[in-house]
Structure 1
Amino acid sequence: MMFKTRFLQVLIGFIVVIVGFTAWSFPDTSEETVDTWTEEAEDLQTEESSEAIREQIEEARDEFDEPPVDAVVDDVWKGIPGYNGRVIDVRESYENMKEHERYEEELLVFHDTAPEVTYRDLPPTPFYRANPNKEMVGFVINVAWGNEHLPTILNELNEQDVQATFFLEGSWVRDQPRLARMIQEEGHEIGNHAYSHPDMASLSAEEIKQELENTNEVIEATLNEEPDWFTPPSGSFRHEVVEIAHELDMYTVLWTVDTVDWQNPEPDAMVERVADNIHPGATVLMHPTEPTAEGIGEMIERIQRQDLEIGPISSVMSENRVTGGTSQAPADEEEADEYWSNE
């Protein structure tokens, strides 16, 4: 009897050991347990994927980040406007890519970084061109005559969705208020082209001031607009002209590409001349002439084929990027580190 009892105790102990070993060697494989394992594996994979995406975004900064460029006064080109830089916003770029679970270059988010010096900070100086990094061209259209060609030119600009800066002679605005308003109503920028189309370089300081002020007054009275830009008739000026314009809160602009349309060239030849000489940051001079009326549409197309945008002088000379970020400062490193630590 004692032997039998002892045998049963040993047998039960053995069974307990076997069951315990089995439970240890072969974990629970119930559906709930399998789901838990799957979730843990997916979390680990997501964490590794997130880190890989972040690393690729950080590496992309070496290729795509660009520092801002300060405005300067150049010995040759005189005033050259600044140009915004850009940086990749790592956090926002990651948020864009997170749901795709992979790095995609087209989902990068950029922010602009402003230069310390813009053209507004420079001493009085003429501007011939915009920043050479800016893939944009400005149209300078000087108006003192050529009324019959203005409707055609305005129609072509409208059809091509292009804005320009029309520099208006003061006496012309006085005599042609309807046409002046037509230009403004089409959304174009208005500039000062002096009052009587004089040789500004030969005028006294008082005469220079009078030419500029009289033009501003008639433009403001007719269009309720104050010009920010002045261009001298025939491109003739001396530094004192630039200084007086600056005192009147205007910047002086000239051009780098001349259509020479006043010489009545063949429209095709004029367009070819412009297309051959166009460049990023260019300013193109023209007038309301027959060649320009006939050729401006093709001119616009030829410029745009070179991946250059066209706009008014204020847009071309601004530091804003042609295709850039959101003009916001990027998150600082401390904010970024805090964000990633919570991911």
Structure 2
Amino acid sequence: MKIWIINRKLVLSIVIIFAIVSISCIYLGDFGNAIVGVMNRDKTLPIYCVDTEEKKVAISFDAAWGDQYTKGILDILDKYNVKSTFFLVGFWVDKYPDMVKLIHDKGHNIGNHSSTHPHMSKLSASQIAQELNETGGKIEKITQMKPILFRPPFGDYNNQLIETAKENGYYTIQWDVDSLDWKELGTQPVVDRVTRNIKKGSIVLFHNNAKYVLAYLPLVIERLQKEGYEIVPISELIIKDDFYIDHTGMQKESERKKE
């Protein structure tokens, strides 16, 4: 009887652990998938951050839903003489073409964030190419420049996505510092999260329509500049040729280039 009780407890423990893991996966969603992706050494990785001795970082904004704060963001960036990167979805470009032009005219990077904001790891290579080329064409028509940076919606990717993006002329960009501004926890939590986790070569994720963006952005910039960081567009942070990406998602110069 004792043995049966021990086994029963063991089975119950396993069931509870399995339930917790399952719920966690559901709750974490794409963030959990991103962690698994980075830890999987057989998976082709996008650029999460850059290996650099210089105290340079990049801040970026994903734009898919609305533009009520975008002009304010641009004004703040102007005030602090900072150039940033905006990843735009195709339907956002359609709705706000004047804002796309303004972002470009102010000297910021414009990146591709897909056409319809799907989970792109679930698409075929031809569907991925269509998502990229539709939005890339729209951006190029407005700015006269083809974008070279691409960020997958939801941070969702697989080998096929990264390889297809590369074939279409894109560097696939993730982030290593997530502001979690979409959670709307207030101004200080965003400032604390970003400034505590930043390092040389970091790429920070913000959203252009986050509720507190106009309050936290000046504070983040001031703190980073006070700590000696130079904030640059992603196109100036990444290595364009002769690089590899290690198992953590850090982009590094190839040994051949160092020689």
Q: TM-score, normalised by structure 1?
A: 0.56
Match of 2:180 among 247, 256, 260: 260
Query: Does the aligned pair in 2 maintain the 1:77–1:129 contact within 8 Å?
Result: no
Mapping 1:207-222, distance limit 5 Å: 207-222=127-142
Deviation, structure 1 residue 305: 2.0
Match of 1:310 in 2: 231
Unpaired segments ≥5 residues, structure 1:
1-74, 79-123, 320-343
Deviation, structure 1 residue 281: 0.5
What CA distance in whole angstroms lies between the structure 2 residues aligned with 1:234 and 1:286? Answer: 13
Q: Does 1:274 align with 2:194?
A: yes
Deviation, structure 1 residue 269: 1.4
**Quick one: higher RCO (CA 8 Å, sep 6+), 1 or 2?**
2
Q: Does 1:227 align with 2:227?
A: no
Match of 2:17 in 1: none
Q: Does 1:292 align with 2:201?
A: no
CA-to-partner distance for each residue in 1:27-61, whole Å, 9 max, x for gaps? xxxxxxxxxxxxxxxxxxxxxxxxxxxxxxxxxxx
CA-to-partner distance for each residue in 1:128-181, whole Å, 9 max, x for gaps? 101142311111211112310101111100000000011111121112101111
Deviation, structure 1 residue 318: 3.8
Q: Does 1:182 align with 2:106?
A: no
* One-letter amino acid matched to 2:156: S
* One-letter amino acid matched to 1:302: R
Match of 2:114 among 182, 189, 194: 194
Cα 1:137/1:77, change in 2 over 3 Å: farther
SS at match of 2:157: coil
SS at match of 1:295: helix
SS at match of 1:147: coil
What CA distance in whole angstroms lies between the structure 2 residues aligned with 1:146 and 1:267? Answer: 20
SS at match of 1:195: coil
Mapping 1:86-101, distance limit 5 Å: none
Match of 1:140 in 2: 60
What CA distance in whole angstroms lies between the structure 1 residues aligned with 2:221 and 2:47? Answer: 22
Q: Does 1:204 align with 2:124?
A: yes
SS at match of 1:181: helix
Deviation, structure 1 residue 76: 6.0
* One-letter amino acid matched to 2:120: M
The count of aligned residue pairs is 200
Unpaired segments ≥5 residues, structure 2:
1-37, 241-259
Deviation, structure 1 residue 262: 1.0
CA-to-partner distance for each residue in 1:262-316, whole Å, 9 max, x for gaps? 1112111111110111111000000112222211011011112221110100111
What CA distance in whole angstroms lies between the structure 2 residues aligned with 1:145 and 1:183? Answer: 16
What CA distance in whole angstroms lies between the structure 2 residues aligned with 1:310 and 1:157? Answer: 10
